[in-house]
Structure 1
Amino acid sequence: MQQVLPAFPLKSLIMNFELLPVVDAMLAIYALPAGMDRFQQYLQLLQGNTPGDMQVPAGGFNPMGKEQTAAQLQLLRSLQAERIMAATLDTLNGGPENGPVFKVALNLADDLHGAWTHHFTTDYDNRFKLSGLIARNYATVVFWTSETYSEELIRRRTLESCHRTRYRISHPPPQTLQEHVAQELYVASQVSYHETHCMADFSLLHEFYTAHAADTDYNIIFDFLYGDEAAAGLNYAQYGIEGEKAGLHYIRHLANGQRK
């Protein structure tokens, strides 16, 4: 794998990360009846007084989220997710007077009931379409209504977001499969993963990656990262990639090997 991965150095840049609390504001919005008033309150939070701009990076929320969305957000609040995030950010900061400050906000994507939230395409966008956030010195830590939350997950997801932001400060948006893998390999190398995922044969993924490293075809990249089943659900071509998020698990496997 090493021979086909680009060796892009990171910029020598000290960055600070600061929590931008959003949970209480979003819970207040969800307390309103679903309708135009709730949507307008959400737009006010998101855009402030400048339509089309971004005052708070809360674009991952579904403003029309149903009761389950509010319940999951309340669960994150009861776990003190934002406190855990803030403590995690403190471990990354270089000092109060060093480097730019990135505001970091929790987002909750509704992949259970959200009409416009497809888990895999949204996950791709949250990993790789970051230019708008970075231009405004924002980062988002995205959770899903479908997942089980824990302090370890909150801490790890926060680290992933910040290291992904650091990487993208030094690199343009990825175009090739090789560049997508390089970004996520860097992120995975900075974070410890305690869970294990059994894959039938990582060598098949390595062979596919080696053959397609220079490809820019979104279908190929998506299928490698998320697997045939995810691709089939979107009527994309499938290339024999078995297992949900197969390529992402393979990247974690590579990162674990680097740390040994």
Structure 2
Amino acid sequence: MRFEVLPVIDLMLGLYHQPAGMERFHQYLKHLQGNTRGDLAIPLGGFNPMGKAHVAEKLEQLKALHAEDIMADTLSSLGPLASGGVFKVALNLCDDLKGGWTHRYTTDYDARFKIQALVARGFCVPVFWTSESYDAALIRSRTLESCYRTLYWLTASKPLTLEDHGKQERYVAIQAGSIPFFSDAAIAAFYQQHKDSREYAVIFNFLYGDEAAASLGFPTFGIPGAMTGLRYLQQLT
């Protein structure tokens, strides 16, 4: 199996340069679904079709950095990773600044752990955020992480427990060379107590913290900061 870039930046810039309204929305659906309603022709689900001017500005920044060229170079250096076909890699820009329909952490969770529909259709989607500053290193890292996450889904069991989630993201971090440094005794103790849990609320709270969980009305368990548990899992040996 190998990975190839599916360019989408110019496509989405053309969309965002249209006035926000139903015509733009229908054009987005046409790009997304192709000629078959409900299908997925181009993986654009992370984009807000009604995004404001700042989304186009951030896309222009990615274009100025030649983001899709960097992605192509990164994928070329990978070579074939396993037997199989071609996966198309399409950058998605999610709006966590002013996008009314994008929750930063549920979207992040889905991009990591709910990718079956993408994998089944031969797509791989590195996610970027409008709140981020971009550089070549970030683009390379995010691209590699997305590819290795796709490979994991093809070769390993789907994550069910908290421990399963950790195994996936630790594999991705190791393969992509993006292991963070993190140590916290309380986080470690919580993980040991709940690593066999399959409860979404527990897993989500651990990965993203109390504030993210509370924003959705989920119970909280004293997990400080944002994405604290996720960083812990990525470096767990």
Structure 1 partner of 2:216: 234
Contact 2:166 2:234 in 1 (8 A): no
1:193-237 alpha-carbon deviations (Å, 9 max, x no partner): 38x66x6x5222221111111111011000110111211222211
Residues 98 and 184 from structure 1, CA distance in 2 versus in 1: closer, same or farther, beyond 3 angstroms? closer
Stretch moving more, 107-116 or 171-180: 171-180
- Looking at structure 1, the residues matched to 148 and 79 of structure 2 have their Cα atoms a distance apart, in angstroms, of 12
Which of 223, 227, 233 aligns to 1:245? It is 227
Quick one: percent identity of the two aligned structures? 53
Distance 2:160 2:231 in 1: 20
1:207 matched to which residue of 2?
189
User: Counterpart of 1:231 in structure 2: which amino acid?
Assistant: A
Partner of 2:220, secondary structure, is coil
User: Which of 21, 30, 38 in structure 2 is aligned with 1:52?
Assistant: 38
Task: Give the Cα separation in 2 of the matches to 1:132 and 1:162.
Answer: 15
Deviations 1:134-184 (A, max 9, x none): 110101011000111110000000000000000000124311111111100
1:98: Cα distance to partner?
Answer: 5.3
CA distance in 2 between partners of 1:119 and 1:134 (Å): 22
**2:145 is equivalent to residue 160 of structure 1:** yes
Structure 2 runs not aligned, ≥5 long: none
Q: Which residue identity does 2:114 align to in structure 1? A: K
Alignment correspondent of 2:104: 119
Query: What letter corresponds to residue 17 of structure 1 in structure 2?
Result: F
| Alignment match, 2:128 | 143
What count of residue pairs does the alignment treat as equivalent?
A: 237
**Over aligned residues, Cα RMSD in angstroms?**
1.7
Q: Which has the higher contact order (CA 8 A, sep 6+)?
A: 1
Cα offset, 1:115, TM superposition: 0.8
TM-score when scaled to structure 1? 0.87
Query: CA–CA distance in 2 between the matches of 1:137 and 1:241?
Result: 36
Single out whichever of 171-180 and 145-154 deviates more from structure 2.
171-180
Cα distance in 1, alignment partners of residues 155 and 83 from structure 2? 17
In structure 1, distance between residues paired with 2:87 and 2:149? 12
Structure 2 letter corresponding to 1:120? Y
1:31 paired residue number:
17
Deviation at 1:192, TM superposition (A): 2.3
Distance 2:224 2:131 in 1: 22
Confirm whether residue 19 of structure 1 aligns to residue 35 of structure 2. no
The TM-score, its normalising length taken from structure 2, stands at 0.95
